[in-house]
Amino acid sequence: MSQKTIQDLFSDYMDKEPIFSNKKALTISYTPEDVPHRDNQINQLGLILAPALKNDRPSNVFIYGSTGTGKTLITTYVTNQLKIAAKKAESDLYIMYVNCKMKRVADTEYRLLAHLANILEKEVPATGLPTDHVYKIFFDALEERKGVVIIIIDEIDALISKVGDELLYNLTRINQELQNIKISIIGISNNLSFTDYIDARVKSALSEEELVFPPYNAVQLQDILFNRAKIAFSEDKIKDGVLSKCAALAAQEHGDARRALDLLRVAGELAERNNNTQITEKHVDMAESKVDMDRIMEVVKTQPKQSKAVICSIFTLLDGISKEKILTGEVYDTYKNICSQISLKPLTQRRISDIITELDMLSIISAKVISKGRYGRTREIGIAISKDIHSRIMDYLKKEFYL
Q: What are the residues binding DNA (CB under 7 A)?
A: 104, 107-111, 125-131, 304, 306, 327-330, 332, 346-351, 353-354, 356-357, 369, 371-379
* Shortest Å, Cβ 205 to DNA: 22
Nearer to DNA, 367 or 393 (CB): 367
Cα gap 320→172, rounded to integer Å: 54
* Shortest Å, Cβ 375 to DNA: 5
DSSP classification of residue 35? -
Nearer to DNA, 10 or 197 (CB): 197
Contacts with 196 (C-beta within 8 Å, 6 or more apart), sequence order: none
* Shortest Å, Cβ 333 to DNA: 8
Which is nearest to 313 in space by CA: 336, 293, 342, 296? 336
User: Do 264 and 291 meet the contact criterion of CB atoms below 8 Å apart?
Assistant: no
Nearer to DNA, 280 or 328 (CB): 328
Cα gap 270→281, rounded to integer Å: 12
Burial 249-283 (b: 16+ CB within 10 A, else e): bbbeeebbbbbbbbbbbbbbbbbbeeebeebbebb
In 3-state terms, what secondary structure has residue 54? helix
Nearer to DNA, 19 or 124 (CB): 124
Say how many Å lie between the first and final Cα of the chain, rounded.
Answer: 31
* Shortest Å, Cβ 136 to DNA: 11
Nearer to DNA, 165 or 256 (CB): 165
φ/ψ (deg, to 5) at 122 = -110, 130
* Shortest Å, Cβ 326 to DNA: 10
* Shortest Å, Cβ 369 to DNA: 5
Nearer to DNA, 75 or 303 (CB): 303
